[in-house]
Amino acid sequence: MKREARKVFNQLKKLGCPVKEWHGNDRGYFWIDAEENSEGDWLDYWSNYEGSELMNQILNQNGFYWEWHNPGYGCVYDI
């Protein structure tokens, strides 16, 4: 994972976002688990399709975005 992605990963993790490492580059730098019970409403396919405002803000400010891979998780990529 490149340094900028690691920085965002750690920042989101510190806030309680259910981020997970992905070892490969075909599904982004890391993924966000929509099925894990965590603090906050980070991703919910059925009621919060856009993802949390805070998460999107952090990703966008650092040159990243996320998109759904399936209803269980979203993957993070470069803009």
DSSP state of 17: -
pTM: 0.88
CA dist 14 and 29 (Å) reads: 17
Cα 56 to chain centroid, rounded = 8
The answer, yes or no, to whether residue 24 has pLDDT greater than 80, is: no
Which alpha helices (DSSP H) does 1-79 contain, by range?
3-14, 53-61
Between 22 and 74, residue with greater pLDDT: 74
- Given this model, what pLDDT does residue 64 score? 97
